[in-house]
Every structure is written in structure tokens, then in C-alpha cells.
């Protein structure tokens, strides 16, 4: 990879000009070190071993590429051809050493070094946004077209966006749904333009939910979800316990880590500060270390009061359905009209969005007047093969206040075909409906 020559570099290094204004410089055809092989042979009476403190002929690959096949493997022949081409310049330092006449327009620039000062910053709408020019350099330097680029923390999606533009395959991950949504929209716009210009081998991507990242929430949000699910009475005046369940005090462990012995030690330290507390304790957690159960068993044997019970939300028989995910659903109508398909989104519901909207509304449930407000974008494949989703039409609102249209008329093959409609909600969850017409 190369960077452009600076004006100062051009003026200082390519000072010579041909009559037509073409700039050039003298580039050495020798390198330090004596060779007894082919690169040490005498040419036109010049023995490179006697030049300076001992040298040998060294013709760079970019120069050899200009020569015949025979000359590429024969140094003397190469020097003869270069002289015949008028590309030999004799030095005037008294030794009469041949140099190569290198034109500035024959090189791509300065070979890329390890310190980069030529890439400026870009306006950052995202906290850790990197310039696309920086990612372009990194990806070009470390991969070839068709290679796979992995970004474990997508943020605003710059790595995936640049990889897509450069013809690389990519996998991006993030636990933040906002980052997934932002990246998804950014890539849809890039791919749409690439499809218009027939510039891409990779006209599609998919979003996979591979773990329970819904539960990686802000602590306050996680507590409210657990409180509603289990029926905990909140005690907002208590600085340690989160509420009560029946007669028990309740402590909710941060869902971003399992219940540990350290959590239990903190609980024990708190109870020491409350010698008159005679209520039992209920701990709510998402996962627990193996050492936790033996510790609690031993504790309960020694303490007639303040006994500890654990509600582990992955396995608890009564409350385990906290982890049940209700996927989004869509009602879609498709009709064929000659070589066109009339598509209409009749209805859409995302239980996850509705649950999140209702977290802070205990008296009244949120009602959504237009289901389209839950939809981020709609993508359509008019000839779906059952494996790869090719975007032939996309409805991606430009403004936050705009809604998807919900009604579409697209060209389809005259033969029987499968139409796939992909709906992505505001949290990045996908619903795909497939119809044969």
C-alpha cells in the first residue's frame, strides 16, 4: 500500500524534468554487499564489488517487470535493455555508476510506513467512531477481496460498512441493540447503492440472535423487569435491598454476572449491620456459581432467621418463564398481478417493544396507534431460493419521524416464484414471511 507523495517530497526528490515536464529522479541499481553470483558480474567494465565498500547489482522488481522474460533473470541482460530504453543515467560523482531513471508517475507513491499521520478525524456521531479511511487502510492491508472480516464490537458499523464496500465478507457482533439497528440501516443503504450499480458479490446480510443479550440491560431496567415478573414490592428507601416478596427481603443481583460468593459476603456484611432483622432473604439472579449452593446450605443450617432462598431465573420452576422470548409477528398479504406482486403489510406486533414501553406504566398499558411505528425497515426478495436473501427492494425511511409505506408493487418472474418479505423492528429483530405465487 502507498500514500501520495507530498509536494515537498516531489520538489526535493524528483528535481529533474524531461522537456515535456515529466519529473524523474536517479534511483540506485546497486546495494551494499559483495556477491559472487550473477548479481556480482561485471557490466561495461564496472565491477560492483569495487564500487564504494563493495556492492552488487540490485534491480527492484518493479523495474524488472518492464523487461523481457530473459532479462528478468539475467542482470547483465537487464542492464543492457535498460540502457537501450534510455533508462540508464550515469552518476557524476566521479565513479561513473549507472542509476535508473525513475519517473514519478511510474510509482503509486510512498510505501506505507508504520506511523500514519495522513488520516484525519471525522465527525463523530458515535462515541468511538473511526474514520472510514482508517478502516479501509487496515482492511486492505490485512485481507483480500472475499476474505472474512470479524468485528466483535460493531458500534456504528464502520468496519462492516467498509468491508462491504471493499468486497469482503464480514461478521459483526454487539450486545447493544441500538448498535445493531444503526449498523443494519447503514449497510442496507450501502448494499442498495451497490445493487443499483452492479458492484457487489454480497447483496444481503442477516441478523442472528445468538444468546440472551436482551437481558444485558441497564441495572435499573433489569430490576423493573424482574419486579414485575415475580411480583416484588419495591422498597425504594432501602439502600441495599430492592423490595419484598411476601415477608421476605429481596436482593436482585445485577444480571450482567451470575450470583457469586462475593455477592453472598456482601449480603452477610449487610445483615451484620442489622442485628434486629428477622426476615428471611430472597435473592433473584441470572445464573450462579457452583460454590453458591453449598454456601447457602451451610448458612441456612446455622441461622434460624435470615434464611436465604434463591430464585435463579434460568431454572426456577415458577419464575423461569422470565427468559421466554416472544418473537415478533407479521400479517402479510401477497397477490400476483401478471408479472407483478402486490404486497401489503396488514399488521405487525413486537411483544418485546410493547413490554419495554410498559415498564414505567403501571396504571395504563401503552397502545400503539399505528403498527408501522414499530417497524424499522422492510426488505423484499422477489426470487427467494430459501438460503440467501437478496434485497431487490428496500423501504428504509430517511427520517426518524417517517414510517414505512407498508404497500408495495414489485416486478417478479413470469414463472412461479417465492417472494420473501423481511421485516426488521426498531430493536433489530427480524421476521421473514415467504410466499409462493
Q: What is the pLDDT of residue 195?
A: 87
- 305 with 278: CB under 8 angstroms? yes
Number of domains, the chain: 4
Q: Which residue has the higher pLDDT, 322 or 407?
A: 407
Confirm whether 150 is domain-assigned: yes
Residues 6+ apart with CB under 8 A from 288: 258, 259, 260, 310, 312
Q: Are residues 223 and 251 in the same domain?
A: yes
pLDDT digits (tens, 9 = 90+) for 260-284: 999 999 999 999 999 999 999 999 9
Q: Band the pLDDT of 168: cuts 50, 70, 90.
A: very high
Q: Are residues 243 and 337 in the same domain?
A: no
Q: Are residues 85 and 47 in the same domain?
A: yes
Paired strand residues for 245: 248
What distance in Å separates the CA atoms of residue 202 and residue 148, rounded to the nearest whole number? 12
| pLDDT beyond 60 at 124 | no
Q: Are residues 85 and 169 in the same domain?
A: no
Using CB atoms within 10 Å of the CB of residue 206, give its burial: 0 to 12 exposed, 13 to 18 middle, 19+ buried: exposed
Which own/partner contact pairs does 152-158 have at CB distance under 8 Å and 24+ positions apart? Answer: 154/179, 154/180, 154/183, 155/126, 155/127, 155/128, 155/129, 155/179, 155/183, 156/125, 156/126, 156/129, 156/182, 156/183, 156/186, 157/182, 157/183, 157/184, 157/186, 157/187, 158/129, 158/130, 158/131, 158/132
CATH of the domain at 356: 2.60.40.730
| pLDDT beyond 80 at 129 | no
Q: Are residues 315 and 377 in the same domain?
A: no
Q: What is the pLDDT of residue 362?
A: 53
Q: Are residues 348 and 412 in the same domain?
A: yes
Confirm whether 204 is domain-assigned: no
Q: Band the pLDDT of 122: cuts 50, 70, 90.
A: low
Q: Last residue of a domain, which of 271, 291, 322?
A: 322
Q: Are residues 87 and 147 in the same domain?
A: no
Max mean pLDDT range (41-50, 91-100, 220-229, 316-325): 41-50
Domain with 272, as residue range(s), is 215-322
Q: Are residues 300 and 333 in the same domain?
A: no
Confirm whether 82 is domain-assigned: yes
Confirm whether 224 is domain-assigned: yes
- Arithmetic mean of pLDDT, 106-127: 70
| pLDDT beyond 60 at 219 | no
Q: Are residues 403 and 358 in the same domain?
A: yes
List the single range of 106-115, 230-239, 262-271 with lowest mean pLDDT: 106-115
Q: Are residues 315 and 342 in the same domain?
A: no
Q: What percent of the chain has pLDDT over 90?
A: 45
Q: Are residues 28 and 73 in the same domain?
A: yes
Amino acid at each position: 500500500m502507498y500514500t501520495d507523495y507530498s509536494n515537498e517530497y516531489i520538489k526535493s526528490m524528483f528535481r529533474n524534468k524531461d522537456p515535456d515536464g515529466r519529473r524523474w529522479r536517479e534511483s540506485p541499481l546497486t546495494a551494499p554487499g559483495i556477491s559472487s553470483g550473477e548479481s556480482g558480474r561485471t557490466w561495461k567494465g564496472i565491477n560492483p564489488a569495487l564500487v564504494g565498500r563493495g556492492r552488487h547489482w540490485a534491480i527492484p522488481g518493479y523495474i524488472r517487470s518492464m523487461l523481457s522474460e530473459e532479462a528478468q533473470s539475467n542482470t547483465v541482460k537487464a542492464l543492457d535493455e535498460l540502457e537501450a530504453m534510455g533508462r540508464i543515467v550515469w552518476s557524476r560523482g566521479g565513479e561513473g555508476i549507472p542509476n535508473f531513471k525513475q519517473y514519478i508517475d511510474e510509482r503509486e507513491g510512498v510505501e506505507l510506513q508504520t506511523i500514519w499521520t495522513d488520516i484525519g478525524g471525522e465527525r463523530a456521531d458515535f462515541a468511538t467512531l473511526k474514520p472510514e479511511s482508517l478502516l479501509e487502510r487496515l482492511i486492505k492491508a490485512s485481507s483480500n477481496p472475499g476474505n472474512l472480516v470479524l468485528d466483535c464490537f460493531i458500534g456504528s458499523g464502520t468496519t462492516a460498512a467498509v468491508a462491504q464496500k471493499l468486497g469482503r465478507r464480514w461478521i459483526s457482533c454487539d450486545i447493544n441493540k441500538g448498535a445493531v439497528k444503526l449498523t443494519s440501516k447503514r449497510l442496507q443503504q450501502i448494499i442498495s447503492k451497490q445493487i443499483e450499480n452492479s458492484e457487489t458479490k454480497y447483496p444481503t446480510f442477516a441478523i442472528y440472535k445468538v444468546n440472551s443479550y436482551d437481558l444485558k440491560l441497564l441495572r435499573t431496567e433489569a430490576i423493573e423487569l424482574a419486579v414485575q415478573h415475580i411480583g416484588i414490592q419495591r422498597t425504594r428507601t432501602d439502600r441495599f435491598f430492592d423490595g419484598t416478596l411476601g415477608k421476605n427481603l429481596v436482593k436482585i443481583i445485577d444480571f450482567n454476572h451470575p450470583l457469586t460468593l462475593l455477592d453472598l459476603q456482601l449480603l452477610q456484611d449487610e445483615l451484620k449491620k442489622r442485628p434486629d432483622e428477622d426476615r428471611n432473604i430472597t435473592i433473584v439472579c441470572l445464573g450462579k456459581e457452583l460454590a453458591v449452593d453449598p454456601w447457602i446450605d451451610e448458612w441456612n443450617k446455622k441461622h434460624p432467621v435470615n434464611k436465604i432462598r434463591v430464585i435463579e431465573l434460568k431454572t426456577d420452576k415458577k419464575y423461569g418463564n422470565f427468559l421466554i422470548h416472544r418473537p415478533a409477528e407479521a400479517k402479510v398479504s401477497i397477490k400476483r398481478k401478471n408479472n407483478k406482486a402486490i404486497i401489503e403489510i396488514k399488521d405487525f406486533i413486537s411483544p418485546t417493544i410493547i413490554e419495554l414501553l410498559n415498564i414505567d406504566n403501571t396504571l395504563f398499558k401503552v397502545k400503539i396507534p399505528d403498527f408501522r411505528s414499530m417497524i424499522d425497515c422492510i426488505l423484499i426478495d422477489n426470487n427467494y431460493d430459501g438460503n440467501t436473501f437478496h434485497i431487490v427492494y428496500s423501504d428504509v425511511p430517511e427520517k426518524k419521524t417517517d414510517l414505512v409505506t407498508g404497500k408495495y408493487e414489485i416486478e417478479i418472474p413470469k414463472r412461479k416464484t417465492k417472494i420473501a418479505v423481511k421485516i426488521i423492528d426498531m430493536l433489530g429483530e427480524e421476521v421473514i414471511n415467504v410466499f409462493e405465487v
